[in-house]
Amino acid sequence: MNPILEVRHLSISFLQYESGFRRRMLTVIRDLSLTVLPGEIVAVVGSSGSGKSLLAHGILGLLPYNASMQGSILYDGTPLDPARAARLRGKEISLVPQGVNYLDPLMTVGAQLRKGERGAEIKKRCREVLARYGLKEETQSLYPFELSGGMARRVLISSAVLQSPRLILADEPTPGLDAQSAGRILGHFREMAKGGAGVLFITHDLDLALTVSNRVVVLYAGETVEEASASDFASGKLRHPYTQALWKALPCGEFTAVSGAQPYPGEIEQGCLFAPRCPHCRAQCTSGEIPYHPAGNGWVRCLLSPQEEE
């Protein structure tokens, strides 16, 4: 099966102003690669505030004006340049954003869902989609501030599936929800994937990611360190020390945390970003570029894991 989305060596950087007129490039996402097949959910797991949202914005061609992007993004086998992204977004590619502040505060839910289209057809579709997620007809006449957290989330999902997309980018769609509601929301994504769409599920919550996704891509300080299938976690086949540490920190693992904190972008300039915290760190880990290479049925960026000769 051909992947619906392929991201290769993607880097996103920002032009940042320091004191005065000095500026510098701040690389928030570095050398990120992943693929999403139709009908599967791929989770991107990274800690909060690491700029994961930018991945979704970058794919949609919606980076802020002071950001720049390197690397390539292929959608359905063809490069996704900003012009093509502009044609596809809202039609074949949908975004499910984080929360209610992604809705226009001064417009009713119905008007936002319809995107200015008129006619009985769109009205009917809105009604159907909302009903599918257990939202009543009256929801359409509510303003965003009148929605509860769970309702807002379901409205945002409704807006994504209104056009029957082939790729869904879900950017932290469940923060602040209790486990049960979160599970229900994630169930909706499962349904979408069953319907043949590819889902890229961006989250900081590994536990949540494992319950719903087929594969997990782990980010450390903005860099992909490992891509593993969800089953690798429980079966102890993880390749990267950081992923192992993440897994151990979970209640279902050993519940032990690794000490230290993630470096800021640009803090470590070469070698492995995890080196200062890694229990297996060796001399060659702290210099040069660590390649991202296939390992078993996944990928890893670590010298411990033997690089297969191609």
Partner 1 sequence: MRHRLQFAGKKLLRMILLLLGVSLAAFLLMNASPLDPLQTNIGQAALGSMSQEQIEVLEAYWGKNTPPAERYLQWLGSALRGDFGDSLLYRRPVLQIIGERLGGSLWLMVSAWILSGVLGFLLGAAAGWTRGKWPDRLIRGYCLLISSTPVFWLAILLLLVFAVWLGILPIGLSVPIGADAASVTLADRLAHAILPALTLSVTGVANIALHTREKMIDVLESDYVLFARARGESKSSILLRHGLRNMALPAITLQFGSISEIIGGSVIAEQVFSYPGLGQAAVSAGLGSDMPLLLGITVVTAALVFGGNFIADLLYGVIDPRIRRRAAHK
Partner 2 sequence: MIEKNWNSRKSAILFVTVAVLLLAAVMVAGIVFSTKAMQTDFSRKNQSPSFSFLFGTDWMGRDMLSRTLAGLSLSIRIGLLTAVVSTALALLLGTAAATLGSKADAAVSWCIDLCMGIPHILLVILISLAFGKGFIGVVAGVSLSHWPSLARIVRSEVLQLRQAPYVMTAEKLGASRFSIFRRHILPHLFPQFLTGLILQFPHAILHEASVTFLGFGLPPEQPAIGVILSESMRYLTTGKWWLAVLPGLSLAAVTLLFSVTGNCLRRLLDPASAQE
Least distance CB 19 / partner 2 (angstroms): 6
Q: Which of 260, 229, 242, 248 is nearest to 304 (CA)?
A: 242
Quick note: the x/- pattern for partner 2 over 232-271, rule CB under 8 A, is ----------------------------------------
Least distance CB 79 / partner 1 (angstroms): 19
Judged by beta carbon, residue 21 or residue 255, the one nearer partner 2 is 21
Cα distances (Å, whole numbers) of residue 147 to 86, 156, 187: 29, 11, 21
Q: Which does 191 bind (CB under 5 to 8 A by kind): partner 2, partner 1, none?
A: none
Per CB under 8 A, the list member of 21, 49, 77, 180 interacting with partner 2 is 21
Contacts to partner 1 by CB under 8 A:
57, 60, 62, 64-65, 86, 88-91, 94-95, 97, 101-107, 115-116, 143, 145-146, 159
- 3-class SS string, 203-214: ECCHHHHHHHCC
Q: Which amino acid is at 181?
A: S
Site for partner 2 in 1-20 (CB under 8 A): 17-20
Judged by phi (left if over 0) then psi (alpha if -120 to 50, else beta), residue 183 lies in alpha
Judged by beta carbon, residue 91 or residue 282, the one nearer partner 1 is 91
Judged by beta carbon, residue 105 or residue 279, the one nearer partner 1 is 105
Q: Which does 60 bind (CB under 5 to 8 A by kind): partner 2, partner 1, none?
A: partner 1
Q: Which of 172, 175, 215 is nearest to 41 (CA)?
A: 215
- Verify binding: residue 25, partner 2, rule CB under 8 A: yes
Q: Which residues contact 35 (CB under 8 A, 6 or more apart)?
A: 3, 5, 6, 7, 42
Q: φ, ψ for residue 241 (rounded to 5)? A: -55, -35
As a whole number of angstroms, the distance between CA 244 and CA 223 comes to 16
